Amino acid sequence: MTVTEHRYLQEDEFIRRAVETLLRVLGPVETTRFLDLVRLRPLDSLQRHRVWQESLDKDAFFSKCLGSQTLIRAKASHGLRYNRGRSNKACL
C-alpha cells in the first residue's frame, strides 16, 4: 500500500474553486442562496452561547481560577488580581 501526500489548497484558491463549483452545479441564484445561509446561522449559536453564559456563576469561576483569597481582595478593590502562588490553568 502506497501512502500519498496531500497538500491543502491556499485559502484564496480553495474559496475560488468552491464558488466556481457551486456556480457550475447550482447556478447563480441557488449559489447566492446557499452562501446566504452561512450568514443566517450564527445567530443560533450566539443565542445558545448567551443562554450558557447566563448559567455561569462568576464568583465560583474566579474562585476556582484565582483562589478564594484573591477573589475577596478583588471584590474589595473592585478589580481582579492574579494569585501569584497558584496556577491559573483551571481557567483555560
d(CA 68, CA 74): 10
Lookup: cell for 76: 474589595
Which long-range contacts link 12-19 to residues 24+ away (Cβ below 8 Å)? none
Domain range for 42 is 10-55
17 confidence band (pLDDT: 50, 70, 90): very high
Shared domain for 68 and 80, answered yes or no, is yes
Residue at 17 is within a domain: yes
- pTM across the whole model: 0.39
What is the amino acid identity at position 22?
L
Shared domain for 22 and 43, answered yes or no, is yes
Give the pLDDT score at 81.
47
Question: Would you tell me how many other CB atoms lie within 10 Å of the CB of residue 86?
Answer: 13
Q: How many residues does the chain have?
A: 92
Residue at 79 is within a domain: yes
Specify the higher pLDDT residue, 36 or 43: 36
Residue at 5 is within a domain: no
What's the number of domains the chain is made of? 2
Name the DSSP class of 9: P
How large is the average pLDDT for residues 39-45? 64
Shared domain for 79 and 68, answered yes or no, is yes
